[in-house]
Amino acid sequence: MSDYDVIVLGAGPGGYLAAERLGHAGKKVCLIEKEYLGGTCLNVGCIPTKSLLNSAKQYEHALHAEQFGVTASGVEVDWAKVQAWKAQVVKTLVGGVGAAEKKAKVEVIMGEGKLLGPGKVEVNGEVKSADHIIIATGSTPAMPPIPGTKDNPKVLDSTGLLAIDHIPGKLAVIGGGVIGVEFASLFAALGTEVTVVEMLPEILPFMDDEMAAKLRKGTKGVTFNLGCQVKAVEDGTLVFADAKGQEQRLEADVILMAVGRRPLVEGWGAKEAGLEYTPKGIAADDTMRTNLPNVWAVGDVTGKSLLAHAAYRMAEIAVSHILDTEKAAKTGQILRTNTIPWAVYSMPEAAGVGLTEAQALAQGYEIAKATVPLLLSGRFIAENGMKAPGAVKLIADKATGVVLGITVLGPYAPEMIWGAATALELELTVEDLRQVVFPHPTVSEGIREAAWAVKL
């Protein structure tokens, strides 16, 4: 008999949710974590950035409320307090994960787990056995070998910048992905001179180009350099070739390396145990099964999606198959990556789900599309004025009318996008969406306007 029904390796969103759900279902579960409960997301990812961004947004609002009849003198940011609030939020949520695991009777072991093979894990010098093993080791910031970055105290990854003890005067950001853009927005709002250097011709490569350009142009106080190749860092100077191939030198107090994250596929026995993987992730099918029997992989480590909510869903899928494979098959428990939404908490915010225009065309669709400004929304105008950036773009399959993708740029975008994920999950047509009643006056009505603006 095994020591446990299930051992989970890694206590990030995928791991902690899997353990909790299995525990409540009566399974004997062991959750192994080498660093911190809650993983990257809770400790050095989504949650601390959203806490800092909230402070920056509050500051921004307080500074600019005069238009709405609210005046304040001496608006100031106390960075130590901002950081203290972030720490309190993280501590509360990490405590919540610990309490949830305890309630689910999950045994939590702090230590570096090592997969020995199907059913066997070593941790803190002891071998533990289980009927099933779930791999949820996550990801880590990618640090490309740019000359002058290694051991340079002015070069930080996202974890380092989250912990910074002052607001930098000048910040250079290498990489215009979600991490780079969120930090750029955050510090620009607090008065930092921010420059983003991005290799591709547009920021946020997963986002529809037209909408990403709108976000870029709507971001105040950030200089974006697109199509650039970073060559080296010399102390605090970023050396890069611009879009025309000209060498540029950018001085900064802090340089953020934000070129993405890579799945943590090594260092915990994957190779030795015979698990199939590439640098892009552990190979797992759409039920989260790996090539080894009863070894499952969920979350960032699969490389299928590096988003916390995708990890949750993968965990639920693995759990459903572990608990009752027949029922899981009957209720369609498989991963559908095309209906996983994304959100960026920059200023302005953005969110989307499904295909971009370019992706839809590349897949051979003849498309119908519409982009509508949020200035159509009374609430948007009342809360943001007539010049704020905001738009909704909708892409549909011209032949069937099925909605293929929705992107929202503007306030509340992350909170309204789940409806679009639902619409895509159910393969709604534009006509179906037109019949849904949206409350008035909301910014979300922009999605409805886009559905009505599409010409099929």
Please report whether residue 102 would count as binding its own copies according to CB under 8 A.
Answer: no
> Which residues are catalytically annotated?
440
- Report residue 22 as tokens: 């299995």
Nearer to its own copies among residue 325 and residue 331 (C-beta): 331
Task: State whether the Cα torsion 272-275-277-281 is positive or negative.
Answer: negative
Nearer to its own copies among residue 399 and residue 426 (C-beta): 426
Please report whether residue 343 would count as binding its own copies according to CB under 8 A.
Answer: yes
Residue 222: CB minimum distance to its own copies, A: 20
| Side-chain-side CA neighbours of residue 367 (13 Å) | 21
Using an 8 Å Cβ cutoff, are 46 and 81 in contact? Answer: no
Beta-sheet strand order (sheet of 237-241): 229-234, 237-241, 247-251
Please report whether residue 89 would count as binding its own copies according to CB under 8 A.
Answer: yes
Residue 420: CB minimum distance to its own copies, A: 8
**Hey, which residues between 292 and 311 contact its own copies (CB under 8 A)?**
307-310
With CB under 8 A as the contact rule, the residue among 10, 18, 30, 51 that binds its own copies is: 51
Say if strands 237-241 and 229-234 run parallel, antiparallel, or are unpaired. Answer: antiparallel
Please report whether residue 442 would count as binding its own copies according to CB under 8 A.
Answer: yes
With CB under 8 A as the contact rule, the residue among 1, 66, 153, 244 that binds its own copies is: 66
Piece in contact with its own copies (CB under 8 A), picked from 145-153, 154-162, 265-273, 331-339: 331-339
Task: State whether the Cα torsion 431-339-322-22 is positive or negative.
Answer: negative
**Hey, which residues between 68 and 87 contact its own copies (CB under 8 A)?**
68-86
Cα gap 268→349, rounded to integer Å = 37
Nearer to its own copies among residue 36 and residue 438 (C-beta): 438
Please report whether residue 55 would count as binding its own copies according to CB under 8 A.
Answer: yes
Residue 115: CB minimum distance to its own copies, A: 27
**Hey, which residues between 366 and 385 contact its own copies (CB under 8 A)?**
376, 378-379, 381-383
Residue 194's alpha-carbon distances to 4, 118, 187, 217, 351, in angstroms, are: 50, 49, 7, 14, 23
Piece in contact with its own copies (CB under 8 A), picked from 130-138, 205-213, 217-225, 442-450: 442-450
Please report whether residue 326 would count as binding its own copies according to CB under 8 A.
Answer: no
Say if strands 29-33 and 107-110 run parallel, antiparallel, or are unpaired. Answer: parallel
Phi/psi of residue 317, each to 5°? Answer: -65, -50
Q: Helix, strand or coil for residue 121?
A: strand
With CB under 8 A as the contact rule, the residue among 7, 46, 265, 394 that binds its own copies is: 46
Cα gap 37→16, rounded to integer Å = 8
Nearer to its own copies among residue 171 and residue 423 (C-beta): 423
Nearer to its own copies among residue 112 and residue 425 (C-beta): 425
